Structure 1
Amino acid sequence: MRLTSFTDYGLRMLMRLASAPETAFSTAELAEEFGLSRNHLTKIMQQLARGGIVETRRGGGGGARLGKDPAKVRLGDVVRLLEQGQDLVECFGPTGGDCTIGGCCRLKARLRHAETRFIEDLNRSTLADIALPAREVA
């Protein structure tokens, strides 16, 4: 299974937030750290906020911080949230794509099972398990 860059960067940002759960990180500092545009980062943060994983505040002293204890954020749930709308294969989409073997396909059920097991396996780990080491203040 290949995750989108949206999910990849979302997980990286959560790893950074989990390294200092009480700290609010600005979009500018996170964008610089991860080498991506503030616009892209904002879209990721909005999705994480809609999912209740992060809290965001605008203005001075604002930024993004974890909305939950990192030990209670399951990685599979994060991946599921960030991968919404990204079907593993075309035939999983609402229209079924251009598949011509839908009526006799034996692969689809196995792929769905594998996708479910992938998320279940990730859910055995939490954000606390993968938090980046805390940075020392100079």
Structure 2
Amino acid sequence: MRLTQYSDFALRSLIYLAVKPRSDEIVNISDIAQAYNISKNHLTKIIHQLSKLGYIDTVRGKNGGIRLAMHPRDINIGQLFRYTEHDFALVQCFDELYQDRDDHSSNNPARIPTVDFSTTSNEFCVIAPACTLKSAIAEATEAFMAVLDRYTLDDFIKNKDELLALLD
């Protein structure tokens, strides 16, 4: 499994906001883009979604910017990835299980399917109705997410001073 750049940048943005500013300080999207050397345009879309999801606050106006909307201990990493990942379809036969998922604009997190895989179509693979690989991959994906569910943003900023030095 490989997380998308979208999720990577979302997490990195939250890490930046958690370590960089004081609690009352706001930063610009440009600051984050420059710190990580990533596209400001791409990051703007991510920040917009993080704002809609309630992870960050946006402040309009001349001195506007962004800041965390909640304490880092309240930002669950598994939940974040469920919101930012398009799907968890690691093999083609999972695609139809996720086809009701929108792109990154959805406010509904992706769910790891718990379904009867024998009912999925065999459009891409003739052995799909009898294949047990799907169940193993679903189990592995559930385990992956269960591990991420044990972490919060706070766990990833324990070395705040070291991170700050790298982001300057």
Give the structure-2-normalised TM-score.
Answer: 0.71
CA contact (8 A) 1:31 1:38 kept: yes
Given candidates 119, 124, 135, the residue that maps to 1:98 is 124
Deviant stretches of 4+, over 6 Å? none
1:29 aligned residue (28, 31, 34): 31
SS at match of 2:129: coil
Matches of 1:112 and 1:69, distance apart in 2: 32
Q: Report the equivalent of 1:5.
A: 5
Q: In angstroms, what is the RMSD of aligned CA positions?
A: 2.1
Q: Is the 8 A contact 1:21 1:66 kept in 2?
A: no
Measured after TM superposition, the shift of residue 21 of structure 1 is 6.0
Alpha-carbon shift at residue 47 of structure 1 (Å) = 2.1
Q: Post-superposition shift, 1:117?
A: 1.3
The letter of the residue matching 2:35 is E
Give 1:86 deviation, angstroms. Answer: 5.2
* CA pair 24-106 structure 1, distance change in 2 beyond 3 A: same
Question: Secondary structure of 1:64's match?
Answer: strand
In structure 2, relative to structure 1, the CA distance for the partners of 1:21 and 1:127 (3 Å cut) is farther
Matches within 5 A, 1:4-83: 4-19=4-19, 20=21, 22=23, 23-83=25-85
Query: Structure 1: 5+ residue runs without aligned partners?
Result: none
1:57 CA drift (Å): 2.7
**Identity fraction in percent:** 35
For residues 130 and 50 of structure 2, the distance between their equivalents in structure 1, rounded to whole angstroms, comes to: 38
Stretches of structure 2 lacking an aligned partner (at least 5 in a row):
100-120
Q: Of the two structures, which has the highest relative contact order with CA contacts closer than 8 Å and spacing of 6 or more?
A: 1
Number of residue-to-residue matches in the alignment: 136
Moved more, 59-68 or 96-105: 96-105
Higher mean C-alpha deviation, range 82-91 or range 11-20: 82-91
Q: Which letter maps to 1:78?
A: L
